[in-house]
Structure 1
Amino acid sequence: MNKVILVTGTSTGLGLTLAVKLAKQGNTVYATMRDLNKAKSIREAAAAVDVTLHIKQLDVQKQQSIQTCVDEIIQKEGRIDVLINNAGAGYVRTTEQSTEEEVNWVMDVNFHGVVRCTKAVLPHMRKAKSGHIINISSVGGLVGQPFNEYYCAAKFAVEGYIESLATYVTPTFGIHFTNVEPGGITSEFANNVMEKISATGGILDDEYRPILEKYMAGAAARSKEGLYQTPAAVADVVIKCMQTDKPPIRQRTSPWAENFTRFKTESDPTGHKQNEQVFNQFLA
């Protein structure tokens, strides 16, 4: 069945790849981005495989932008079957080095943006008593990592937010929730992190510098070793989750990601056991 799908953050990387793959399968895909001046790449990618995408402006940091986009889709299509919260941004800094403004930005893009978009589509999915909200989270939403404390905090927040929604919205209204947790993607994401570091003073010459340099060298080595997945590989996992009758609440995207998070996920890989326990404790 053709699905109406809204994807955020589609100007590059995973979002772009997802939008094109979903459209190629015959879905009606609304590919959104904050800056429509960056739409050239996705238009070219869609044209290369002869698919139609509906490209719209949506800034996850602005509620009115989100609401306008959702309202226009509902007016035209009558429904939104799937929301893919893909828009996000990395941030590498220590707690001592970070300004309050930077911390607020990281949380706003990666957590509040998910909440805003989810809140905008939920009334329509609730009315239809169906729908699927998929968030591109990270293994950083399960395991804290050096110099990523604020990014991980935002992704941890997304994980808790979605786990909570799934305990009562899913059994009552038939709306499913999934956090997809890649271990790393070869895309513009890492470049944007480095640009953010440069824009906020570069690698600071303090006591944290040798530890950060060691961390950055390790990240570069993992990239060369091929541990990071392509956007296409992660997109295939997202699409498989979307096509499952009982979608997982949590889903890693590679053997490396599974191994990295195993101490937290081995006993309940999909999150369904924990979800059922919470439901039985509070609502059964």
Structure 2
Amino acid sequence: MKKNVLITGTSTGVGFDSAILFAQNGYKVYASMRNLKKADALKEKAESDHLDIHIIQLDVTDAQSISTAVQTIIDEDGKIDVLVNNAGAGFAKTTEDATEQEIKWVTDVNYHGVVFCTQAVLPYMRKQKSGQIISITSVGGLVGQPFNELYCGAKFAVEGYMEGLATYVSDAFNIKITCVEPGGIKTEFMNSAVSKTAVDGALASGEYLPIFQAYMAGIQKRAKEGEAQTYQTGTEVAEVLLDISKNENPPLRIRTSEWAEAFCRLKTQADPDGTKLVQQIRSSFL
């Protein structure tokens, strides 16, 4: 029986490209998305290329939706081999300017959704004594950045959650854990981030406005001058995910580009892939 993979957030971007790439490489893909009205492009690609892609509804902010999606896979296959926690959304706004609703939203989409999806698959992976959980975090999960503190906080939380989980489920139950840390990605994720950014001057106002304007100017400058180095395509990131899924001893964390590696070096140079730290924690506590 071929391996299956559940990928969240597959309507566009990295999730879309990953669903196609995994299917092209022999996986049975359960491509999940919150809104099935956005499934047409993936459905057409799957049909035209005869890919083993099954599109299912899953909203990472809805625990019942997650449970139903996982149960659908178990009922059909009796197992889940790989979970790719891809769904997420960018957000750039000062802490003062963010509303309570926005703070809860960015945390739910980027952190709580990862926890609840992982929680849903763990019992099956534990029973089968195998499995792999790959979570797309970000360089923002290692390095805090201006106006991204709420987004970075959620991604830092994912990194800590996965690191803690890896210290005991990997050895005991053969469940492999990896955090994938891209830099910029040329997908609709960027558009989503911009749409959630205080760009109209009404929110990023007062004393923050000059800092915010400098921040936006820097982003635009880097996009023009170093786009090839800074921003990857969704397919390039998907290729990293596929490689990890085939790795018998995958790293705890991995950056997806030379730019991302350099950006995080001060945080990662002592233990680039996180392996040493996990071993140290195991020896200290277990």
TM-score (norm 1): 0.96
What is the 5 A alignment of 1:167-178? Answer: 167-178=167-178
Secondary structure of 1:135 counterpart: strand
Tell me which residue corresponds to 2:258: 255
Alpha-carbon distance change, 94 to 198 in structure 1, aligned in 2, over 3 angstroms: closer
Q: CA offset at residue 3 of structure 1? A: 1.1
Aligned equivalents of 1:264, 1:204: Cα separation in 2 = 29
User: How many residues end up aligned between the 2 structures?
Assistant: 283
Secondary structure of 1:83 counterpart: strand
Contact 2:93–2:204 under 8 Å retained in 1: no
Q: Does 1:279 align with 2:282?
A: yes
In structure 2, runs of 5+ residues without a counterpart are none
Aligned equivalents of 2:66, 2:153: Cα separation in 1 = 24
Q: CA offset at residue 198 of structure 1? A: 6.4
Aligned equivalents of 1:156, 1:200: Cα separation in 2 = 28
Q: CA offset at residue 202 of structure 1? A: 5.8
Contact 1:58–1:69 under 8 Å retained in 2: yes
What is the 5 A alignment of 1:108-187? Answer: 108-187=108-187
Tell me which residue corresponds to 1:97: 97
Contact 2:110–2:154 under 8 Å retained in 1: yes
Contact 2:27–2:52 under 8 Å retained in 1: no
Kindly provide the amino acid, as one letter, of the partner of residue 229 in structure 1: Q
Tell me which residue corresponds to 1:245: 248
Q: Does 1:50 align with 2:53?
A: no
Q: % of aligned pairs identical?
A: 55
In structure 1, runs of 5+ residues without a counterpart are none
Secondary structure of 1:75 counterpart: helix
Contact 1:222–1:228 under 8 Å retained in 2: no
Q: CA offset at residue 100 of structure 1? A: 1.5
Kindly provide the amino acid, as one letter, of the partner of residue 189 in structure 1: F
Kindly provide the amino acid, as one letter, of the partner of residue 243 in structure 2: K
Secondary structure of 1:232 counterpart: helix
Tell me which residue corresponds to 1:222: 222
Kindly provide the amino acid, as one letter, of the partner of residue 71 in structure 1: Q
Tell me which residue corresponds to 2:239: 236
RMSD: 1.5
Kindly provide the amino acid, as one letter, of the partner of residue 285 in structure 2: F
Kindly provide the amino acid, as one letter, of the partner of residue 210 in structure 2: P
Aligned equivalents of 2:88, 2:199: Cα separation in 1 = 18
Provide, for residues 43-76 of structure 1, a one-character-per-residue CA deviation record: whole Å limited to 9, x for no partner.
2333443313100000000000000010010010
Q: CA offset at residue 222 of structure 1? A: 2.2
Alpha-carbon distance change, 258 to 198 in structure 1, aligned in 2, over 3 angstroms: closer
Aligned equivalents of 2:148, 2:61: Cα separation in 1 = 21
Contact 1:139–1:183 under 8 Å retained in 2: yes
TM-score (norm 2): 0.95
Contact 1:7–1:32 under 8 Å retained in 2: yes
